[in-house]
């Protein structure tokens, strides 16, 4: 018979076989369709705590015709998406204009769920520097 004490607290997540997960995109792109820039799938028996997430867009070459421009970091659970950080609007026709978005809260991603980053630019011409960053801790459930 196994005897244990229930008076001992469970270790904190950082004491449960923790490792750091980074998703970083910092590149200039010309107009493009929806493109995945990073995927982290949480394995069975694990959890992922998103500590920080940020998006920074900088117009480095003004488009001829500005159109919809999206950068997003989100959690996908089954077919349901929950946005962690998102910028959705029109590409700027002003050179060196920028937009930022950051994480609100610290969501946990469970086994079988995914943390994704994607971009889209439907403009004609131009170039945008996309900087999408996520720092998270992966640990045993």
In tens, the pLDDT along 4-61 reads: 666 677 788 777 889 999 999 999 999 999 999 999 999 999 999 999 999 999 999 9
Residue 48 lies inside a defined structural domain of this protein:
yes
Q: Does a structural domain hold residue 25?
A: yes
Alpha helices in 24-100 (DSSP H): none
Model confidence, pTM: 0.87
Q: Which among 12, 120, 132 has a CA at the least distance from the CA of 67?
A: 120
Q: What is the pLDDT of residues 70-82, one digit of tens each?
A: 999 999 999 999 9
| CA dist., res. 66 & res. 91, Å (int) | 5
Domain membership flag for residue 64: yes
> What is the residue range of 111's domain?
16-140
CATH number, domain containing residue 28: 2.60.120
User: Is 119 among the domain residues?
Assistant: yes
Domain presence at residue 79: yes
Distance CA 25, CA 37 (A): 7
63 falls within a domain: yes
Domain count, the chain: 1
């Amino acid at each position: 018979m196994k005897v244990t004490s229930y008076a001992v607290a469970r270790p904190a997540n950082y004491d449960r076989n923790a490792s750091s997960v980074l998703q970083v995109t910092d590149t200039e792109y010309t107009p493009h369709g929806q493109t995945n820039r990073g995927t982290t799938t949480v394995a069975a028996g694990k959890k992922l705590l998103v500590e920080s997430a940020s998006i920074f867009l900088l117009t480095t070459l003004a488009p001829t015709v500005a159109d919809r421009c999206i950068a997003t970091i989100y959690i996908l659970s089954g077919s349901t998406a929950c946005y962690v950080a998102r910028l959705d609007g029109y590409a700027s026709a002003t050179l060196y204009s920028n937009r930022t978005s950051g994480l609100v809260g610290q969501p946990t991603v469970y086994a079988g769920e995914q943390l994704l980053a994607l971009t889209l630019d439907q403009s004609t011409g131009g170039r945008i520097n996309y900087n999408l960053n996520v720092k998270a801790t992966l640990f045993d459930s």
